Structure 1
């Protein structure tokens, strides 16, 4: 056998000896932290690049990149992968953590804007009439949601009232993620139109 053929043969044996992601997940369930390091080395660059494409602050990117693998360890006993790779699960988890961070950033900005508004307009808090109208609108939304047929009601509860992804809602509702997206679009349009009607707006 030539030196090149022997080297290729040796590399093939090393490649075949490497554990798959599914094997490493089983090691995680058994509490072997070394498996987490192997998965981190294998997928962290892709996860980091995915997060960096969605967020600007380096500290946010680095923190979420770490949180993805912390979540992997914390949920190791319940994770199910469709194929041999855990990367799709890592990217879905990244997307959810990115969404959470964006909501937190937006909430902080809203609080700062609210504080500034309170300083210049101390009497700008909603009055009794506005509170009554808001409560009426919320009660109306609850009535509409309760009357929805399945699977629209499940989609509403998971994606509008809750914080589930299209994939998670699709799995629970027994439909495709595309169907979840289409149903959500129709639900939001219906609610928006009916609330405008209730308020007497065109």
Structure 2
């Protein structure tokens, strides 16, 4: 039944609760998404995780999937690419500060102190502001993506980020 359905029809059926239609879309595009993910990561486990996460997001955002030439594959690949980039950013963000990578003179100590102040200033922000900072500045989400993720308006995310940046600047200058 599903083999002849277009991706648009599969999405419409899935929106009505037909999980078989969504499974058919996975069967149709899962291998391509996996191979694309593997090409970016060169790791089977990471590629499997990215493929799974891509389809989880697709399921949650069925209404938002944009078809290109009647295919959901371009949307799936862009989603997979964004997830891979976010995962890479998150890995880099969790690396410990290695002072040996900083310049070897007096500037090194100043930068270490400044980074410490920045981390402390971010830690003093409210929970939602910390989440906005993390999503937009660490993980690289756009304001619209962060707003969608947090259930806020895009302008609220922009305002919170503006206030957070000002707060961090004041803390680094020693004003707060």
Pair 35,126 (structure 1): closer, same or farther in 2 beyond 3 Å? farther
Q: 1:106 offset after TM fit, Å?
A: 1.6
Pair 161,71 (structure 1): closer, same or farther in 2 beyond 3 Å? closer
CA-to-aligned-CA distance 1:89-142 (integer Å, 9 cap, x gap): 00000110010111122223x22x54x87xxxxxx995599639x98xxxxxxx
- List structure 1 segments (4+ residues) > 6 angstroms apart after TM superposition: 158-161
Other structure's SS at 2:63 match:
coil
Q: TM-score, normalised by structure 2?
A: 0.55
Q: 1:162 offset after TM fit, Å?
A: 4.9
Report which structure shows greater RCO (CA 8 Å, sep ≥6): 2
Pair 45,78 (structure 1): closer, same or farther in 2 beyond 3 Å? same
Aligned residues between the structures: 119
1:48 to 29, 34, 45: 34
Q: 1:57 offset after TM fit, Å?
A: 2.7
Q: How much is the aligned-residue C-alpha RMSD, in angstroms?
A: 3.7
CA-to-aligned-CA distance 1:38-67 (integer Å, 9 cap, x gap): 001001111111111110332111111111
2:60 to 46, 57, 74: 74
| Structure 2: tracts of 5 or more residues without a match | 101-106, 119-135, 146-176
Contact 2:38–2:47 at 8 Å: present in 1 too?
yes
2:22 to 36, 39, 48: 36
Q: Which residue of 1 aligns with 2:174?
A: none
Larger-gyration structure (1/2) = 1
Name the CA distance, whole Å, in 1 between partners of 2:51 and 2:39: 12
Name the CA distance, whole Å, in 2 between partners of 1:35 and 1:161: 32
Name the CA distance, whole Å, in 2 between partners of 1:43 and 1:126: 51
Name the CA distance, whole Å, in 1 between partners of 2:50 and 2:12: 24
Other structure's SS at 1:73 match:
helix
Q: TM-score, normalised by structure 1?
A: 0.49
